[in-house]
Amino acid sequence: PKSHVGFDSITTQIEKKLLKRGFQFNVICVGQTGLGKSTLINTIFASHLVDSKGRLSPHEPIRSTTEIHPVAHIIEENGVRLRLNIVDTPGYGDLVNNDRCWDPIIKYIKDQHSAYLRKELTAQRERYIQDTRIHCCLYFIAPTGHALKPIDIVVLKKLSETVNVVPVIAKSDSLTLEERQAFKDRIKEEFAFHNIRMYPYENEEYDSEEAAMNSQIKSIIPFAVVGSENSMTLNGKTVRARQNRWGTINIEDERHCEFVYLRDFLTRTHLQDLIETTSQIHYESFRAKQLLALKE
Residue 170 Cβ vs ligand GDP, minimum distance, rounded to whole Å: 7
Determine how many CB atoms are found less than 10 A away from the CB of residue 265: 22
User: Strands of 23-30's sheet, edge to edge?
Assistant: 49-53, 69-77, 80-88, 23-30, 136-141, 165-169, 223-224
**According to the binding rule CB under 6 A, does residue 38 interact with ligand GDP?**
yes
Q: Judged by CB under 6 A, which of 23, 46, 52, 58 binds ligand GDP?
A: 58
Side-chain half-sphere exposure of 17, counting CA atoms within 13 A: 7
**CB under 5 A: which stretch of 3-11, 32-40, 61-69, 169-177 binds Mg ion?**
32-40
Side-chain half-sphere exposure of 171, counting CA atoms within 13 A: 16
**CB under 5 A: which stretch of 31-39, 132-140, 208-216, 279-287 binds Mg ion?**
31-39
Residue nearest to ligand GDP (CB): 36
Q: Which is nearer to Mg ion, 92 or 286 (CB)?
A: 92
**According to the binding rule CB under 5 A, does residue 32 interact with Mg ion?**
no
**According to the binding rule CB under 6 A, does residue 227 interact with ligand GDP?**
yes
The three-point CA angle 140-245-145 to 5° equals: 35
Report the C-alpha gap between 276 and 17 in whole angstroms. 18
Residue 67 Cβ vs ligand GDP, minimum distance, rounded to whole Å: 13
Side-chain half-sphere exposure of 276, counting CA atoms within 13 A: 10
**CB under 6 A: which stretch of 30-38, 121-129, 160-168, 277-285 binds ligand GDP?**
30-38
Residue nearest to Mg ion (CB): 38
Backbone angles phi, psi at 86, to 5 degrees: -115, 125
Determine how many CB atoms are found less than 10 A away from the CB of residue 157: 16
β-strands 49-53, 69-77 pairing:
antiparallel
> In sequence order, what are the beta bridge partners of 72?
53, 85
**According to the binding rule CB under 5 A, does residue 43 interact with Mg ion?**
no
Q: Judged by CB under 5 A, which of 38, 43, 65, 172 binds Mg ion?
A: 38
**According to the binding rule CB under 6 A, does residue 258 interact with ligand GDP?**
no
- Near ligand GDP in 234-253, by CB under 6 A: 242, 244
Q: Judged by CB under 6 A, which of 28, 36, 101, 184 binds ligand GDP?
A: 36
Residue 229 Cβ vs ligand GDP, minimum distance, rounded to whole Å: 7
The three-point CA angle 275-276-278 to 5° equals: 70
Contacts with ligand GDP, residue ranges (CB under 6 A) = 33-39, 58, 171, 173-174, 226-227, 242, 244
Contacts with Mg ion, residue ranges (CB under 5 A) = 37-38
